[in-house]
Amino acid sequence: MHQCQPLQSNTLIELGKFLQAALSDNQNQIKPILRPFFDETIKAMDESIYENPWFTPQMVRYCFSAWAKTLQKEHVEQWFELENLPAPIAQPDKTVAVIMAGNLPLVGFHDMICVLASGKKLLAKLSSSDKKLPTLFCNILTCIQPGLKPLIHLTEDKISGFDAVIATGSDNTSRYFDYYFGKYPNIIRKNRNSIAVLTGNESPEQLNALADDIFIYYGLGCRNVSMLFVPEGFHFPSLFPSFDHYAHLADLHKYANNYDFYKSIFLINKIPHLDNGFMLMTPNDAIASAVSVIHYQYYKNISEVNSFIESHQDKIQCVVSSANLACNTIAFGQTQLPSLSDYADGVNTLDFLKSI
C-alpha cells in the first residue's frame, strides 16, 4: 500500500516529457516504467475519433502537444511556486467531485490536477464523450507517482459522497448543476466564448494565428474565437487567405453538415453573410456562434469595444487583440495554449480548493 500524497511537480514534468516523446514517436526517450503506455498513447491519438467523432487524430495530437508544452519544467515549477504547491499533506477525507465536459479532448484535466495538487481526493465523473483520455492520463500519473492512487476515483456512474463540486457545462446544464449541487461549495461554469478585436493593421502572421484561435477543435471550446470586432470599412476578403490552411475541416462530415445547414439557412432567409467555402461570416452581436459560423461587428472607435466587453464579461473567456484595450488581452494564436495559472472564467481553482 503506497502512502497517500498530493500531486508533485516532478510527476507533471515527467508526464510532459512522456507526451513529447510519444508525439515524436521516440520510445527511447521514455523512462522504462512508462514504456507500457507508449502504444496505448499512440492508439489514443489515432482512435479517439471512435469515441467522439469530433476528436480527430489531428485535434487529439494538438491537445497532447499543448499539454506537453504546458508541462515543461519551468512552467510547472513556476506554477507550483506561485500557488504554494503541493499541499503539505494529503487530505483523502476531503473529496472533490469534478464533472467533466466532453466537448474537447481532456477539457477537465486542469481541474483534475488542481484537485490532486491540493491534496484532496478526486472523484471524476467522466463524460461519455471523453472517457479514455482522462483515464489514460491518470494511469500515467499514478505510474509515475503511486502515492496518487488513493486520491483518484474515476467513474461513469452517479456520484455521491463528495464535499465540493467543480462542474463544467452549458447554460442549460448549469441549471441542473445548481439544483443538484447548490448546497455544496462549488464552481459551476456556464457557456462562454472568446472574441477577437482587429485594428486592420495585423500582419499576415497574426491573421494566420487568428485562424488557430478560431478553428482548432472546430471552434467547440470556450477559448475559441466566435466573434470578431473589426473597424468600419474592414475588407473581409483580405482575411480569407489566412484561413485557407483550415479548409480541410470540411472533410469532417459533422463540420461539413453544420456548414451546409447554416449556409442553407442564410440563403433561404436572405441573411447577409460571407462565404469562403468552408466558413460563414455574418453580422451579429451575439458572442456565441454555431460551428462553421463566425459573427462580426463593426466599430467606429475602440471605446465602443471596451463598453461591449465590460457589459458582457460573464460571457467572454478570452479577448484576442493587439489593440490597446481596457481589458487583458491574449496574443493571436495563443487561446488554446493556456498556462497552468490561466483559470477558467478567471476563478482561481486552487483558491477555491484551499478554502474547503
- Domain edge (last residue) among 163, 190, 217: 190
Look up residue 193 and give its DSSP letter: E
Q: What is the CATH number of the domain that holds 105?
A: 3.40.605.10
Q: Tell me if 336 sits within 8 A of 60, measured CB to CB.
A: no
Do 39 and 79 sit in the same domain of this protein? yes
125 and 41 in one domain? Answer: yes
pLDDT digits (tens, 9 = 90+) for 329-341: 999 999 999 999 9
Residues 168 and 189: beta-carbon distance below 8 Å: yes
Q: How many residues does the chain have?
A: 356
HSE, CB side, 13 Å, CA atoms: give it for residue 244: 7
pLDDT at site 204: 95
DSSP assignment, residue 6?
P
296 and 215 belong to one structural domain: yes
pLDDT of residue 169: 86
pLDDT in tens, 58-101: 999 999 999 999 999 999 999 999 999 998 888 889 999 999 99
pLDDT score at 340: 98
Residues 257 and 154 in one domain: no
- Calculate mean pLDDT across residues 180-193: 95
Quick one: cell of 223? Answer: 477559448
Choose the final residue of a domain: 175, 190, 205. Answer: 190
170 pLDDT higher than 90: no
Report which residue type is found at 103.
Answer: N
d(CA 200, CA 140): 46
In the predicted model, what is the mean pLDDT of residues 149-163? 96
List the grid coordinates of 91. Answer: 487530505
Expressed in angstroms, the distance from the first to the final Cα of the chain is 27
**Domain-located, residue 268:** yes
Check residue 15 and give its pLDDT.
98
Number of structural domains the chain divides into: 2
pTM over 0.75: yes
- Look at residue 328 and tell me if it is in a domain: no
Structure confidence at residue 2 (pLDDT): 66
Predicted confidence at residue 151, as pLDDT, reads: 96
Kindly indicate the confidence band of residue 1, based on its pLDDT and cuts at 50, 70 and 90: low
For residues 171 and 200, state if they share a domain.
no
The whole-number average pLDDT for the span 110-114 is 98
Cα separation, 263 vs 275, in Å, equals 8
- Which secondary-structure segment (H or E) carries 280? strand 280-283
Q: Are residues 186 and 202 in the same domain?
A: no
| Domain contains 3 | no
What b-and-e string marks burial along 123-133, b requiring 16 or more CB atoms within 10 Å of the CB?
Answer: bbbbbebbbbb
Averaged pLDDT for residues 162-183: 92
Among 115, 162, 154, CA closest to 137: 154
Q: Are residues 96 and 227 in the same domain?
A: no
- Mean pLDDT over the full length of the chain: 96
Per the structure block, which three cell numbers stand in for 75? 512552467
Domain around 287: 193-321
For the stretch 10-43, pLDDT in tens is 999 999 999 999 999 999 899 999 999 999 999 9
pLDDT digits (tens, 9 = 90+) for 250-287: 999 999 999 999 999 999 999 999 999 999 999 999 99
Here the CATH number for the domain that contains residue 220 is 3.40.309.10
109 in the same domain as 13: yes
Q: Tell me what percent of the residues of the chain surpass a pLDDT of 90.
A: 93
| 66 and 116 housed in the same domain | yes
Which residues have CB under 8 Å from 342's CB, separation 6+? none
Q: Are 309 and 319 in contact (CB under 8 A)?
A: yes
Cα separation of 220 and 237, whole Å?
Answer: 24
Q: Which H or E element spans position 274?
A: strand 274-275
pLDDT at position 89:
86
